[in-house]
Amino acid sequence: SALAMELRDALREDRFELHFQPQADLGSGGVTGFEALVRWRHPSRGLVAPDEFIPVAEATGLIRDLGAWVLQEACRIAAGWPENCRGGARGGYRVSVNVSPLQLAQPDYVETVQDALLASGLAPELLELEVTEASLVADHERLLEVMQGLKRLGVRVAMDDYGAGLASMHALRSFPFDRLKIDRAFVDGMLSDPQALAMVEATLLQARALGIPVLAEGVSEETHLAALRRFGCREAQGYLFGRPMQAAEAAKLITREE
């Protein structure tokens, strides 16, 4: 399609960029890291959101090259954040990168991650890969193998958009996830919809029983925060703490935190 060809050109012409949304510790209120979110800087349409082009990149296979670029760029930028270069006492700021199921299925995916770490100098424990439940419906054996390979590198793996699809407690037990991100739809709805509230509470109880830390997505109001704290949630991401921002702003935010 025309869009697919445009995307290929955009990758060659370096027209993608990453924005970073802060993640906060609900105990201290401090920033713990950022999620990297890709955008397409289009010559006439302006900044194009990932929902508009990631599905096309996945359908055409371009997601492999685009995903590798996102990974390299996120590691490069995060390696330059103050504190991350010094390996200081605070332990550094994590960068979370979204991974498409097609990327995980690549035979050389673990090497791609290793290359990005080596090229950037980023400490492996500061990289978190966000996997969606779409990755779980494929080949379980293969996914387990990839996750174990990533673990050997020292990289963290998170389950993204939890609750939005098919992922179950069984999946959380079967795969070595380091953290779980509750889908923003539940957080968003939890003050008006008793079922969304129950879902958030149940997820936090399940995760605690399994010893998996939880981050709540889409936290946009103080009232969300109060309920989440009551359920024992330790980390959050959302407009209340900051919108996705350019790399330079993220670096400034870190400087203010120090």
Taking CB under 6 A as the criterion, the residue among 218, 227, 236, 250 binding ligand G is 218
Contact between residue 117 and residue 127 where contact means Cβ atoms under 8 Å apart: yes
Nearer to Na ion, 54 or 123 (CB): 54
180 binds ligand G, rule: CB under 6 A: no
Scanning residues 189 to 208, which ones bind ligand G (CB under 6 A)? Answer: none
x/- track of binding to Mn ion for residues 166-185 (CB under 5 A) = --------------------
3-state class of 47 per DSSP? Answer: strand
x/- track of binding to Mn ion for residues 103-142 (CB under 5 A) = ---------------------------x------------
Q: How many CB atoms lie within 10 A of CB 122?
A: 25
Taking CB under 6 A as the criterion, the residue among 73, 128, 160, 235 binding ligand G is 160
Taking CB under 6 A as the criterion, the residue among 156, 244, 253, 254 binding ligand G is 244
Minimum CB separation from ligand G for residue 39, in Å?
A: 7
Taking CB under 5 A as the criterion, the residue among 21, 23, 32, 98 binding Mn ion is 98
Contact between residue 148 and residue 176 where contact means Cβ atoms under 8 Å apart: yes
Contacts with 12 (C-beta within 8 Å, 6 or more apart), sequence order = none
Nearer to Na ion, 73 or 161 (CB): 161
Minimum CB separation from Mn ion for residue 138, in Å?
A: 18
Q: How many CB atoms lie within 10 A of CB 216?
A: 29
Partner whose footprint covers residue 70, from Mn ion, Na ion, ligand G, none (CB < 5 to 8 Å by kind) = ligand G
Angle in degrees, CA 61, 22, 52, rounded to 5: 30
The strand pairing partners of 38, in sequence order, are 18
Distance CA 223, CA 166 (A): 28
Phi, psi of 128 (to 5 degrees): -120, 130
